Structure 1
Amino acid sequence: MEPERRLEAYRTMVLIRTYEEAILREYHADKKPVFDIGAGLVPGEMHLSAGQEPVAAGVCAHLTTEDAVTATHRPHHFAIAHGVNLEKMTAEIFGRATGLGRGRGGHMHLFDPETHFSCSGIIAEGYPPALGQALAFQRRGTDRVAVAVTGEGAANQGAFHESLNLAALWRLPVVFVVEDNDWGISVPRSASTSVTSNAVRAAGYGIPGERVKDNSVEEVHRAAGQAVARARAGEGPSLIEVHTLRLWGHFEGDAQGYRSDLDSVPSRDPLPAYEQQLRADGILDDALVSGISAEAGERVEAAIAFAKQSPEPDPATAADFVFASA
């Protein structure tokens, strides 16, 4: 990667981490002294993506907002990397009327037509819609692509295999991305999956498959660049699995008592590792690190303030936006 691209990947990763840390702070701020998942400004479940920044930064570096991304129930990193408006996304997370879904969907149901981004709390749900988007792109004669993201546990779902089969059959411009963070909620992949790499499953459908082993944004960037270029050229789908890291719990409030790897997690954090690498290569210094951090902090805090100042949806509008008008 060129120095400019490496620096941009770092900026994206810092923005994602800063955002997730701020959401973590706001989510827990009014759930004390006893944790109540239904209490506070942001009630309900919260799935944060700290540790998985390299996947989103590496993949989305090759996309424009004309390309489509379907993400998982842990979606913020891909939303940010793909250019979803921070203010509108944060307002949606807070359930406010200025949000992407006018406060109806929350953090697991972010839909942004402006950037062709969507996500869902249903496992492997994003794969079939990505096929539809890719089919539309193909039939319109464009070079746009769809990226479908899921976790390693979802690779055992029927929707995963059906989508790979149909995409291969129709040579659709879609890139399948599997984020392997080792844990399907509390189940280790060794207890649920018969293969050590979901990338090998691509061969069963006659498409390229690659596993990126070390949560490296530069390796993800390389693999994604090849897959996106292949899709844009009309050569069909590809599958990339990235061995990434879930830095925090499956959801906020998860005690993680099942997790045997907790002691090693801090040492595997990809953000300080990448910062150290860029410093060693002369791309980053103290001033630049400080400036990037400050810029990210300003953007994130502005989005938080926008959300808090936005109105809650009027209960009288509860039935609005259920049906499209003719």
Structure 2
Amino acid sequence: MSSTRHKAIVTAIAIALIFISFLIQTSLAMPIVSVEPLNINVSPRDTFTVNITVDPVGVEVMGANYHLCFNNMLLNGSKQEKGVFLSQDGASTMEMANEINNTIGIAKYGETRIGVDYGVTTPGVLATVTFKAMEPGTCSLNLSTVKLYDPGGGKIEPVLLNNGTCVIEGVEQTPTPTPTPTSTSTSTLTPSPTPAPTSTPLSPGEDSNNSNGEEPVTPTLTPTRMINSVPSQSPLLSPTTTISPTPTASLPMSGEKENKGQGIPGFEAVFVTAGLLVIASYLIFKKGKIGGKK
């Protein structure tokens, strides 16, 4: 009885060891799909790339596809380029999907080997994705819907996934604004002439120079500053001088002769003419009389 129980225990332990060994081998043979680098730091407006790599861990891989999810507020995907993982031995490949949707933030890619009936077992880059950083923040690069296929078209499961993280740090560099030229005040001097003195007629006997002994007043020009706001590179002075003509004083004549001459200037000429005619007639008459006597 004890012998039978002992054999049962040994058998159970052996089965457990076999099962554990199988689990270990299965875990060791699990293919790995990763985002590399796993962590990347960039600045706003920087353009950078990440690789999607596959490590078959000894399992033949005939085809692969993935979805890469990202925050479309922080990153903008621009392109995906085929890597050399499935064509590393020179075999031809075909892209089954190559799409970036920045509206929802997802990149899709799929590729398979053609013309051969075996897969690859060496790690390599399946595809390269190019992004542009938009705003500061931390963005996860998460793999989803990852599928690997063996030469028979069956899925290789399970697959270990290593997601990535992008840290966008710092403040976006903004261009230095070009200074706008401001208006410069230009001073323009416009002299304002002082009114010329008006001559006052002098009465007879009054000194025309100055009867009070005071010096005559000389008119002077006093410039008045007027500021005009005119945009200019340098101030310009444009003085303009305006001189008013000085009126000439008219002095009336004094005395009785002034009054008589201005009263009847025509009568004197009449008397002179009449006198000359009388004298001329007399001389002609006298000359004719003398000639008759002879």
Which of the pair has the greater relative contact order for Cα pairs under 8 Å at 6+ separation? 1
Bigger Rg, which one: 2
TM-score normalised per structure 1: 0.18
Q: Which has the higher helix share?
A: 1
TM-score using structure 2 length = 0.19
- Greater strand share, structure number: 2
